[in-house]
Amino acid sequence: MTGTLAGGTKSASRGRGRTSPKGSRIFYTSLGSVDDFGLPAFQRLLLNGILWALDEPVPPADPRVVVRK
């Protein structure tokens, strides 16, 4: 996944979704810091991955993700 920032295009995070030979959906992502969980782009990546893994529709609009502390 990449995004455009003020300085140009930067890699924001990486995620992978695939379907196993038995038909299960698998979503994996790895980032380097706990702080990444506070980033809206990462929260969206997780939301999309979870919805995809559950075979639920992924909304085209950017829904607000509420982080409870």
- Hey, where are the domains in the chain? 11-53
Beta carbons within 10 angstroms of residue 58's beta carbon: 11
Cα distance between residue 13 and residue 37, in whole Å: 11
Model confidence band, residue 1 (pLDDT cutoffs 50, 70, 90): very low
Q: Is the model's pLDDT at 11 over the cut of 50? A: no
pLDDT at 32: 67
Amino acid at 6: A
| pLDDT attached to residue 29 | 82
7-45 CB burial, b ≥16 within 10 A, e <16: eeeeebbebeeeeeeeeeeebeeeeeeeebeeeeebbbb
Max mean pLDDT range (6-10, 15-19, 35-39, 60-64): 35-39
| pTM greater than 0.75 (yes/no) | no
Mean pLDDT of the 50-65 span = 78
